[in-house]
Structures are given as C-alpha cells and as structure tokens.
Amino acid sequence: MAHKTVPTTDDRCVVKPRQPPPNPCPESQLGWKTGRAEGRREMRLALGRPRKPCLVALGQFFREFSTGAAGESSVFDSAGFIHPTAVVHPDAVIGRGVSVGPFCTVGSSVKIGDMCQLYPGSHVFGQTELGDNCVLMTGAVVGDDLPGSTLIGCNNNIGHHANVGVKCQDLKYKIGEPCFLAIGNNNDIREFSSIHRSSKSSDCTVIGDNNLIMGSCHIAHDCKIGNCNIFASSTLLAGHVVVEDYVHTAGAVVVHQFCHLGSFSFIGGGSAISQDVPKYMMVAGGRAELRGLNLEGLRRHGFTDSEMRSLRRVYQRIFMPSNANPVGFEERLAELEQHETLAQVPAVLSMIQSIRDCLAEDRRGICKFRHWNTS
C-alpha cells in the first residue's frame, strides 16, 4: 500500500513579497521619488506631457489670490495685478490696486476704478465705467460694444454669469442708436441676473443704491429702480417699470410693462402684476390683488404703532367701506384728506397721493381688491 508523503517545511510554497511593476523609463530619466504627487509630476514631465496652460494659469491665480503674496506679483498688491492670460486693451484706464484674473477681457473704452476685482473669465466691454471697489465674479459680462454707455458706481458686486448693460430685448430699438444704463452704489447683483440698457437715446435704465437683486432676476430696458429694494430670485420686470424705495418682492414675481410699485410695498411669491401697487400695500395672486398693508415691512423700517394704526384706518375706509357710507371712491379720498386727525399724519397723505397717482390717465390703474366697492 502506497503511503502519502507529507511535505516538509522546505518543500512548502513560500509566499514571496510582491515586487513593484517595472518602470517604463529608467530611474535616471524619471527621477523617481517616494511622494506620489511628486512622482506623477516628474513622470509627466519625463514623458513629455506637461499640464495644460489654462490649468497652470488658473492654479497660479487661485494660489496667489488665496495667499495674497505669491512670487513677484500679488492680487492684493497696491500696484494691482493683471494676469498674463487676460486681454486688456492698452487704451483702457485701470485704477490703482485692480485685480484682473485669468482669461478676462477689458475693452478699449473701459474705465475701471481703484481696488476693483475681476475674477477669472469676467468681461467688460464698450463705453463702461466701474467705480471703486467693484467686484465682477466669474462669467460676469458688463457693457456692450454699442453707442451709449454703462455707468456703475462704487462698491457693487456683480455675480457669476450676470449680464449688465447689454442690448435691450425691444424690437423698437434701432441699431446704432445710443442706449444707456446707470447704476448707483452698494448694489448686490447676484448670479445669472440680467440688466439691459435703454431702448432709445432719450431714456435711460436707472438703478439706485443699496439694492439686492437675487439670482436670475431680469430688469428690462428703461426701468427706474429706487433705493434699498429687495428682488427675490426670478423677479422679472418688463420695460419701463418704476420701482420706488424699500420694495420687497418674493420669488418668481412678474411685472407688466409700465407698472409702478410704490415704496414699502410687498409682492407675494408667484404674483403677476398687471396694474400699479400703491405705497405701503401688500399684493399677491396670479392676477395680483390687494391683500392689506405691509405692516411687517413698515414695522421693520421704523414706522410707529400710531402711524400704522392710522394707515390701517385709512385703508379700511378706502377699500372696505361700510354700507352705511355709500359714497364714491373719489369722495372717500377727499374726506380722508380733510379728516381732522388722519390728515395730520404725513404717511397717510403720502398713501392717498400714491393712490391718486395710480389712477391717473397715463397710468395702468390700481390693483383690484377682492371686495372692491364700485359705487
């Protein structure tokens, strides 16, 4: 009977350590090192595959921007910084301490104020003037190669891929006619917003100071925007719209051309405005209707309790009259203007005058109230 032989220790398989794969190039050419990143970099250079120039430029810019002092030039140097990949026309006027990032474009008629920052891929064209301390984020386009001008004040932020001061979307605009845009100071214009120049040489699109224009908003030709307004995302203003001061729109609001939005008014989300909104009012709805006073907004802006009580009384007498007082709309306004106590409150007189202005012949009328008395 055959006996099985038990393998001895010497006959068993010995696990050998795994050997590294052979180098495609001799170590003398690769200069191989232990660090992975350094090894990959040196291998890429040895094989003749350097990094793409655009990636090198962007990496250099962001390193310098984040550290503030990298090498010979710095983004935060008082003398300014223009990246070598930027295209800046020699006739452009560049202020002190201006930072121009990679792949930016600055036209021949552009004037840029002191300490402005142009992030990578932002562009300034045409007869455009930027005030001091303005910031253009990546993809922002300011100005257009058209007759006319785009004037932007100081301390404005223009967000990613926003278009400011470009040609209007009005078929009545005649190619070659001067068109204008003027923007004040301290405005925050967020990503993907668009603000157009005027549609004729006799008019101008105007935006005041301290406005917050959130993402994807649109302000069309010949609009007049006051101060300290807040436009939530996707607020769309058609041509010739007038917005006074401290107006707040919620998201996805659309406003018909030639409409007026009075000061301290509030527009509910998703509303379509086809007629004027008087001062201090709150409107909402697919075809927006008056929903009362913007009491929370008035309180936030310093209106006293006494003023708000007076405004509420006036609102009720105008838009919610009792059957015991069957006088017409005009008569109700006249009575309140002569009221012994209410007529002494400046905010009351301002609201009544705003309502009268909305009813003028050259205006679109006032937003309807669901319990409107037509007597």
Q: How many CA atoms lie within 13 A of 285 on its CB side?
A: 15
d(CA 150, CA 182): 6
* pLDDT per residue as tens digits for the range 91-134: 999 999 999 999 999 999 999 999 999 999 999 999 999 999 99
Residue 78 pLDDT exceeds 80? no
Say what the pLDDT of residue 39 is.
Answer: 52
Say what the pLDDT of residue 122 is.
Answer: 98
Which residues does 219 contact at the CB level (< 8 Å), separation at least 6?
Answer: 193, 194, 195, 196, 205, 207, 213, 225, 237, 241
Lowest-confidence region among 49-53, 58-62, 67-71:
67-71
> Coil, strand, or helix at residue 266?
strand
| Residue 51: band (very low, low, confident or very high) from pLDDT cuts 50, 70, 90 | low
Say what the pLDDT of residue 351 is.
Answer: 97
Burial 312-339 (b: 16+ CB within 10 A, else e): ebbbebbbebeeeeeeebeebbeebeeb
* pLDDT per residue as tens digits for the range 235-244: 999 999 999 9
| Residue 166: band (very low, low, confident or very high) from pLDDT cuts 50, 70, 90 | very high
Are the beta carbons of 156 and 172 closer than 8 angstroms?
no
Query: Which of the given ranges, 15-19, 63-67, 320-324, 343-347, has the highest pLDDT on average?
Result: 343-347
Residue 310 pLDDT exceeds 50? yes
pTM, rounded to two decimals: 0.80
Residue 181 pLDDT exceeds 60? yes
Q: Where are the beta strands (DSSP E) in 71-166?
A: 81-82, 87-88, 93-94, 99-100, 105-106, 111-112, 117-118, 123-124, 128-130, 135-136, 141-142, 148-152, 157-158, 163-166
Say what the pLDDT of residue 329 is.
Answer: 87
Looking at every residue in the chain, the average pLDDT score rounds to: 85
| Residue 320: band (very low, low, confident or very high) from pLDDT cuts 50, 70, 90 | confident
Residue 69 pLDDT exceeds 50? no
Strands 205-207 and 179-183: parallel
Burial of 307 (0-12, 13-18, 19+ CB in 10 A): middle
* pLDDT per residue as tens digits for the range 252-296: 999 999 999 999 999 999 999 999 999 999 999 989 999 999 999
d(CA 87, CA 105): 5
Lowest-confidence region among 6-10, 72-76, 177-181:
72-76
Say what the pLDDT of residue 55 is.
Answer: 47
Q: How many CA atoms lie within 13 A of 313 on its CB side?
A: 17
Catalytic residues: 221-222, 239
Say what the pLDDT of residue 121 is.
Answer: 97
